[in-house]
């Protein structure tokens, strides 16, 4: 069964460093999402992406964040200058249609900023 994959599973970085989290969505999906979950808190929406552009972003998704689909398969989340409070689990998801349709989640990348 097709699945969303994410790499790395765990990333440790120093404050101020740039990180890129990678996702490979399901191949025929058109809508892509990033979410984050700070330890012990609820899942939060970061950004949605369709047709090579951001369709919606949350207040969390400030200028430090960017997303890209560099080729036909990868979908990346870049954090330019990480802060301690960026430590969280980051989930990628994809869907055949918009978010009124079922989303398929990746296993997540645990980002630890020290």
Partner 1 sequence: KNEVEQSPQNLTAQEGEFITINCSYSVGISALHWLQQHPGGGIVSLFMLSSGKKKHGRLIATINIQEKHSSLHITASHPRDSAVYICAGQYNTDKLIFGTGTRLQVFP
Residues in contact with partner 1, shown as a per-residue x/- string from 52 to 71 under the rule CB under 8 A: ---xx-x-------------
- C-alpha angle with apex 79: 74 to 81, nearest 5 degrees? 150
Q: Which of 45, 66, 74, 76 binds partner 1 (CB under 8 A)?
A: 45
Which residue, 14 or 42, has its beta carbon nearer to partner 1?
A: 42
Which residue, 74 or 105, has its beta carbon nearer to partner 1?
A: 105
User: Would you count residue 101 as binding partner 1 (CB under 8 A)?
Assistant: yes
- Give CA 77 to chain center in angstroms: 5
């Amino acid at each position: 069964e097709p699945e969303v994959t994410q790499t790395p599973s765990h990333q440790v970085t120093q404050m101020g460093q740039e990180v890129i989290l990678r996702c490979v969505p399901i191949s025929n999906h058109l809508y892509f999402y990033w979410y984050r979950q700070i330890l012990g808190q609820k899942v939060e929406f970061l950004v949605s992406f369709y047709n090579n552009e951001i369709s919606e972003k949350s207040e969390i998704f400030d200028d430090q964040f960017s997303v890209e689909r560099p080729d036909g398969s990868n979908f990346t989340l870049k954090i330019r200058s990480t802060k301690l409070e960026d430590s969280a689990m980051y989930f990628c998801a994809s869907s055949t249609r918009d978010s009124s349709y079922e989303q398929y989640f990746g296993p997540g990348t645990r980002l630890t900023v020290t």
